[in-house]
Structure 1
């Protein structure tokens, strides 16, 4: 992935998925999927039919075993290519979805974020929407939680969404409240946008401890 970062911290990416685009059901052991407590699916791998099948089979096996399954919407362009399939997956196979404001709006072809979040929450019990400097909104079984963030000009926004998801999922995996999960995600994303590169350069657990979250 070649990433070009502009002075305002935003980036353009030229990515080749390589062999990962060939992911199929053969690559996802059913016993592993069935034992997973949390499964997080990556929207970028939804381009081929065998990838879609692998998603569906793994998600169903996980839920049959009592696990929770979620999706990273990944990119508005993914939504444009697979809107109907994404909406069907979110509405019928998933327990949660994480996306930024552009991705959530793209699901329903609207610029009205509030309406898009409400429509997403109507088909999925847990919706997490990151809104850049406007913070994070969580809609959990009809209960709305808004978590503010420290507004800064990013050095490099690459990896912010992935790091937010990592923090949020860590909170879920350790039984934290939705508000704490969102705050953990914000701490993780806040670290990675302060330097070049998509991986943390600081011990994130220490940052969570300093914020009173770990």
Structure 2
């Protein structure tokens, strides 16, 4: 029997505030360039004050949200499990999810008290993204936020690696994975960011456990996680942790392991202006492909086109029309 959802995603719900800055902004404000840094509300408020908010773009985000919305824009049926607060940004988040075709556990007007998380995404002229994130209420995302009936009615569970930073988030990852495995739902995981495997490596290995069906990572994350000293060695080592996986290689494209063979995915040349969301959309396009009749090679090619398109513009998403044009 066909499942209601192709993808059930779980991750941090963050309202993305996307803006352009220069390297001097990082020096002035003591920001480490090129990584995601967790900050408290006071620190983020100071940074928000320092940027040009009128020129900033705002949308519901978080890594897994960008992935499931990307998949939905191609035509996948998706559900997103997350946590926001009863505030203006929380209601904005629900409306934006629904407008993009994603079902969710969130119910407008019935949200908990607190502050909805925000991610300040700073892009520079070299197309690199730097994120400062205040998690807000999503830091308390837990097993209680898992919508089990929707998860069981999905072909894939997609877990965001950023959840590993809290004990309750990590337990939720493990719990959802166990429910999926016991019920024949395939488990996909993304490492999300090199910092997640560098600073939370033990927790990530705990989540991976006896392995996942599909893993998304880049070569840096793969090397840190496996301890390998080359992308080739890391590729081989990942076979012990995932039945199938995708290793993205930036401008060199990607490598897919489909369980029996390595499939090189050619890059699509473009002028990058903002790398924010490239990995998220790659995963969304790939998951859409393999749940909607495409081979791994075809899904990889679509994902390569999609990530190339999204880095050529500002912001972590394409429009639905832009996504459909890539099919």
TM over 0.5, yes or no?
Answer: yes
Q: Distance in 1 between matches of 2:310 and 2:195?
A: 24
How many residues were matched structurally?
208
The structure richer in strand per residue is 2
Pairing partner for 1:92 from 210, 215, 219: 210
Pairing partner for 1:70 from 185, 188, 212: 188
Alignment partner, residue 326 of structure 2: 207
Pairing partner for 1:109 from 210, 227, 239: 227
1:21 aligns with 2:139: yes
Pairing partner for 1:170 from 288, 295, 308: 288
Give the TM-score taking structure 1 as reference length. Answer: 0.91
User: Which structure would you say has the larger RCO, counting Cα contacts within 8 Å and 6 or more residues apart?
Assistant: 2
Pairs within 5 Å for 1:125-164: 125-164=243-282
Give the TM-score taking structure 2 as reference length. Answer: 0.61
Farther off after superposition, 101-110 or 20-29? 101-110
The structure richer in helix per residue is 1
Secondary structure, aligned partner of 2:272 = coil
Structure 2 portions without partners, runs of 5+: 1-118
Cα deviation for residue 120 of structure 1 reads 0.7
Alignment partner, residue 212 of structure 1: none
Secondary structure, aligned partner of 2:220 = helix
Structure 1 portions without partners, runs of 5+: 209-214
1:42 aligns with 2:160: yes
1:188 aligns with 2:306: yes
Q: Distance in 2 between matches of 1:49 and 1:34?
A: 24
Cα deviation for residue 91 of structure 1 reads 4.5
RMSD: 1.6
Alignment partner, residue 76 of structure 2: none
**Structure 1 ranges of 4+ moved more than 4 A:** none
